[in-house]
Amino acid sequence: MSGPRCPQCAQPCVSPRLLPCLHSLCEPCLRRLGPPEGPPGAARPVLCPVCDAELSLPAGGVGQLPPDCLAGSRGRAAAGCDLCADGAAAGRCLTCGLRLCRFCCRAHRRQKKTASHAVTELENTKDCSQARKPLLCPSHPTEELQLFCEQCDQPVCRDCVLGRHRQHPCDFTGNVIHRHGDTLRELLKSSQQHMDTLEDVLSQVDEMGSAVRSRAEAVATEICLFARGYVKAIEEHRDRLLKQLEYLKVQKENLLHLQKAQLQQLLLDMRTGVEFTEHLLMSGSDVEILVTKGMVSSRLTKLNSIAYSTHPSVDDRIQFSPHERAGQCCGYEVFGAILNKVVDPARCTLHGEDLHSARQNQLSSFTLLCKDTTGERMGRGGEAVWVTITHKDKMDCAVKPTVCDNGDGTYCISYNPEEPGLYAVCVCVKGQHVQGSPFTLLVKHKFREHQGVFHCCTFCSSGGQKAARCACGGTMPGGYQGCGHGHKGHPGCHHWSCCGQVKESSECLCGPPSDTSQRSLLRTVAL
């Protein structure tokens, strides 16, 4: 009779045990996995030989892994008879635990030594599982696992309940199987939904791969049609474009292949977990489900938490522009290029009057011109532009700039500084400084309307004498009457201000200015 074989050594399984990835290996192979070194009681990392998943063996070693109780029932339609090894098992002796075919069942009942044995029929795989030999406690080999410790989350025997699990809440396996089975069914349902999503995404990836190849072929056809107008020069230009196109196609396909491989591996892991859980719930006994419940739950939970993209990682946008200038080829100017310009931050330039100086509380702006690696203007927007404006003396003082994409390769950067002083300005494209960045920006104080008292006119007919009386009848501060040179005057005849500017106001009511006072004014202005 041939039994299940270990996927590692291809020999009949000897004491098969379950790994956290739900693959089953025989105990001798498990003991040979991974490095033997390590401190006593520490978990040992190993690689599953089936799926290459990185796992950790329990601190207690291989013996702490749950046994694979269903290893013998997976992969075959029916078990064979334990006596004749010819017929399929149709019943089981509950006394001696043997699987029997129909002929041996009848013989078992007729024999004198076994006539008193209870033989039950195996109607389905579930009944077969229930009728298997009872699982015995590893701590008390003569006792059957009939109870379940809720605190330790493991099946136990009666002696365990009287010993280490005395104060723990325990119940019979038949009473708790429904609750724990429902938990596994919910996880199974979630995993099945993920499998459907993964299959849909893989279908989209395959379709996108076909779209990329179809689009690449279409662009290749356009390139070939365009190249027919020239002889040698255009043929060489065509080959150059095709090589560039092939490079872009390979790049996109490589990204799609990588995503596909990752999704396929995740789907394979999901399918393994789902198939194992389905078989466990359909064919496993109550105790068998509870024995593996913790590991199955952990595996399905881990698989369900893995993040994956539900869309292809690339698109099929590959464009060819037949009117784009492509430079010289064999002495001829050629046209046609694949639009794959890449911005070069080192060639991007900054322009504008407000680039290095600005005024406090006034909106200012400058322009960023993006260029490619050849120094040509990009001609289109969409680049990642990052701008910071930070005060050099006040680290907590920064200006929040606004970047406006004009869509033609230029970007308008506007800002409104609230504090005067020197600022450090950084302008980056795709994380790299542009030409001239970083640079210093000087923010000057804002224009303020003069709030002081203006000097009275000094070019009237009196020549600025203190004793002169102004015809307007005004009185200056300090008790002086009329126009006095250097005294602070009153509004009304202000032609000269303390700001050094000639004000446009009404004519002085003191009379026309004298030549002496006019020359005095000119000297004052010159000073």
Which of 53-62, 227-236, 384-393 is least confident?
A: 53-62
Q: At what angle do helices 286-304 and 232-283 cross, to 10 degrees?
A: 150
512-522 burial string, b = 16+ CB within 10 Å, else e? ebeeebeebbe
Question: Rounded to whole angstroms, how far apart are CA atoms 252 and 255?
Answer: 5
| Nearest partner of 160 among 136, 184, 190, judged by Cα | 136
List the structure tokens of 217: 């072929």
35 against 62, higher pLDDT:
62
Provide CB contacts within 8 A for 368, sequence distance 6+.
348, 349, 350, 385, 410, 411, 413, 427, 429, 434
- Reported as a pLDDT band with limits 50, 70 and 90, residue 92 is confident
Burial label for 252, CB within 10 Å (0-12, 13-18, 19+), is buried
Contact (CB, 8 A) for 407 and 416: no
Over residues 347-374, the pLDDT tens digits come to: 999 999 889 999 999 999 999 999 987 7
Query: Tokens for 455?
Result: 């000097």
Arithmetic mean of pLDDT, 13-22: 77
Q: Identify the pLDDT of residue 477.
A: 45
pLDDT in tens, 412-439: 999 999 999 999 999 999 888 999 999 9
Report residue 349 as tokens: 């330039």
Between 525 and 460, name the one with better pLDDT.
460
Amino acid at the residue 209 = G
- 486 or 263, greater pLDDT: 263
Q: Which residues of 70-95 are buried (b: 16+ CB within 10 A; e: fewer)?
A: bbebeeeeebbbbbeeebebbbbbee
Q: Enter the tokens of residue 384.
A: 């990642």
- Edge to edge, what strands does the sheet with 170-172 contain? 154-156, 147-149, 170-172
pLDDT band at 300 (very low <50, low <70, confident <90, very high): very high
Task: Judge if pTM exceeds 0.75.
Answer: no
Q: How confident is the model at residue 243 (pLDDT cuts 50, 70, 90)?
A: very high
Q: What residue type is assigned to position 133 of the chain?
A: K
Assess whether the previous peptide bond of 438 is cis (omega < 30° from 0): yes
- Quick one: average pLDDT of 172-187? 87
Query: Which residue reads 């009057």 in tokens?
Result: 353
**Nearest Cα residue to 187 out of 278, 109, 322:** 278
> Does residue 479 carry a pLDDT above 70?
no
Q: Residues with Cβ < 8 Å from 422, sequence gap 6 or more?
A: 391, 392, 393, 440, 441, 442, 443
Residue 468's pLDDT is: 54
**Which whole number is the average pLDDT over 69-96?**
68
Q: Which of 111-120, 129-138, 363-372 has the lowest mean pLDDT?
A: 129-138
**CB neighbours (10 Å) of residue 364?**
20
For the chain, the average pLDDT equals 77
Residue type, 399: V
pLDDT top residue among 91 and 436: 436
pLDDT at res. 426: 94
Whether 471 shows a pLDDT value over 90: the answer reads no
Q: Which helix (H) or strand (E) holds 525?
A: helix 515-526
